[in-house]
Amino acid sequence: MSDTNVPTLAELFGPNPPTNWGRWGAEDEIGTLNYLGPKEALKGVAEVKTGESYTLQIQMGWDDERGDPVWPGRPQIERKNVRDAEVWARGETGLDPYPGGLTDADDVATIALQGSTQYDALGHTWYDDQIWNGYDSQTTAGALSKASILPIAEHGIVGRGVLIDMARHRGKDVLDKGETFTHEDVLAAAEAQGVEIRPRDILVIRTGFIGSWYSRQPEEFFADFIEPGLTYSRELVEWFQSMEIANLVTDTIANEVTTDPESGVLLPLHAAFLRNLGLLMTEMTILDELAEVCSADGRWSFLYTAAPLKVVGGTGAPVNPVVIR
């Protein structure tokens, strides 16, 4: 234990924590994505009844003072036109007119790859100098040469998704800051909704937190910043492992309560899930519309599809998941 009485992750997890290292071989870089093959894709397809689709990415690049909800300290997207009608009219494009008279608008953007709805690479976080599957943390220097977002993006994610509306289950529009729940709470909500969480599912959990960004002032949203979410226990990690959950998707920036209320450790599930289980994590989705339609007809399962951007060496990548019901 340190002087601040906050344990290290190794101390918190104890001896022999749940791990999937080596499960898919010494060279694996996609972890629980291995659970999703053609059979799991067809199980997702079987959930499609009416064919309507919903996208889960938050909007990027709001051109106002509030900007987008990003992890504190991460930069906002910076987007600007490099060509448009005014630039062409001033003759500042540096180009000759296109033969035939066609003109265009073009733009560039600087973004944090984890500054919007996104997938984490399995090498995104670590402790004790090892990332997912035992790779040395030095493989992250400069760019991720192991367990980057690229192998995940090359594969794509397709499977049966299940939405658990934890906010609705607790009678709220949005969970409170720092409000926690466990896998047992998730199972209780599933039972109340009348939906079964099955092995190798993509588990989607709504707290209402990201959706609340658009009705809150940014300073209130970020004040005493601690998101609601899952809270660490060995039993919870063992449940995710035994259920072979392929992908955790939430409408929070970090997929778990920001600081564990018992240990004081910051984001312990990032270590337990990404580093130890190789569990795919999708953050900052917006789930309010999807939750409304699922509640209206009582169908909480669907085909979930996602394709992160193929960023070589990336620690994560933006994504716009598509749900088909």
What's the pLDDT score for residue 97? 81
- Compute the 3-state secondary structure of the chain and give helix, strand, coil in percent, each to the nearest 5: 30, 20, 50
243-260 average pLDDT score: 97
290-299 average pLDDT score: 98
| Residues with Cβ within 8 Å of residue 87, at least 6 apart in sequence | 81, 93
How far is CA 52 from its chain centroid?
A: 23
What's the pLDDT score for residue 1? 41
How far is CA 166 from its chain centroid?
A: 17
Rg (CA), the chain: 21
Alpha carbons 135 and 275: distance in angstroms, whole number: 10
- What average pLDDT does the structure give for the chain? 95
% of the chain surpassing 70 pLDDT: 98
Which token pair is 276?
């130890």
Alpha carbons 124 and 140: distance in angstroms, whole number: 8
Alpha carbons 299 and 325: distance in angstroms, whole number: 8
102-118 average pLDDT score: 93
Residue 2: pLDDT band (50, 70, 90) is very low
Alpha carbons 115 and 317: distance in angstroms, whole number: 9
Give residue for tokens 């899952």.
Answer: 230
What's the pLDDT score for residue 62? 79
Domains of the chain (ranges; CATH) run: 26-65+113-324 (3.50.30.50), 78-110 (no CATH)
User: What predicted TM-score, i.e. pTM, was given to this entire model?
Assistant: 0.95
Q: pLDDT per residue over 160-191, tens digit each?
A: 999 999 999 999 999 999 999 999 999 999 99
Q: pLDDT per residue over 18-29, tens digit each?
A: 999 999 999 999
What's the pLDDT score for residue 94? 85
| pLDDT higher than 80, residue 65 | no
Check residues 296 and 69 and name the one with the higher pLDDT: 296
How far is CA 90 from its chain centroid?
A: 43
Q: pLDDT per residue over 117-166, tens digit each?
A: 999 999 999 999 999 999 999 999 999 999 999 999 999 999 999 999 99
